[in-house]
Amino acid sequence: MAEESQVMIGKKPVMNYVVACLTAFNSGAKRVVVKARGRSISRAVDVVELLRRAFLKDLNIEKIEIGTQEMSSPDRPKTNVSTIEISLAKKE
Amino acid sequence: MAEESQVMIGKKPVMNYVVACLTAFNSGAKRVVVKARGRSISRAVDVVELLRRAFLKDLNIEKIEIGTQEMSSPDRPKTNVSTIEISLAKKE
């Protein structure tokens, strides 16, 4: 198992991603990075808050970064979408 | 004008909040704190990214905090809602 694991947040229920994070930590990941784009950003925050409050009391939010990603496709004009990355680690 | 100004993100178009942040800085605020709850969290990130990329190139994201707020009302059961606070300052 790699030291760092990533969980990309999509449109599934919040609990699915909470379980994904728990599984990553239980498999030995030292850090889990929760990533989301656009409308899923709110859900990413929900996932981290639920994880921190209900499942892993010793969870530490190491870093929160926001950014912009350019989305381009032949079918539509270029658009910008906001992103978030929340780095989580268990307290030592 | 106070040193710190707050902009609460709701359901209006992103540009409305960008203008509110610009107005706060132009009125002399040293720091602007962008706050949002629930589904508006994504919009808060959109506001900050647009502000940073298109309007204030010298904007510094000082801190991003996430949390949970308990909402209670006589009409419905108690629920938790995620929150975000993004502290912005112009670079010296």
Which of A66, A70, A86 is the best substitution to test chain B (most B C-beta atoms within 10 A)?
Answer: A66
Contact check, Cβ <8 Å, B39/A42: yes
Q: Tell me the mean pLDDT in the region B69-79.
A: 84
Predicted pLDDT of residue A73 = 80
- So what's the pLDDT on residue A1? 52
> The pTM is what?
0.90
Q: Output the pLDDT for position A78.
A: 84
pLDDT score at B34: 98
Residues 6+ apart with CB under 8 A from A91: A58, A59, A60
Model confidence at B78, pLDDT cuts 50, 70, 90, reads: confident
Summary mean pLDDT of chain B = 93
B45·A84 Cβ contact <8 A: yes
Distance in angstroms (rounded) separating the CA atoms of residues B64 and B52: 15
Measuring CA to CA, which residue among B34, B25, B28 is closest to residue B61? Answer: B34
CB contact under 8 A, B40 and A41: no
Q: How many CB atoms lie within 10 A of CB A38?
A: 17
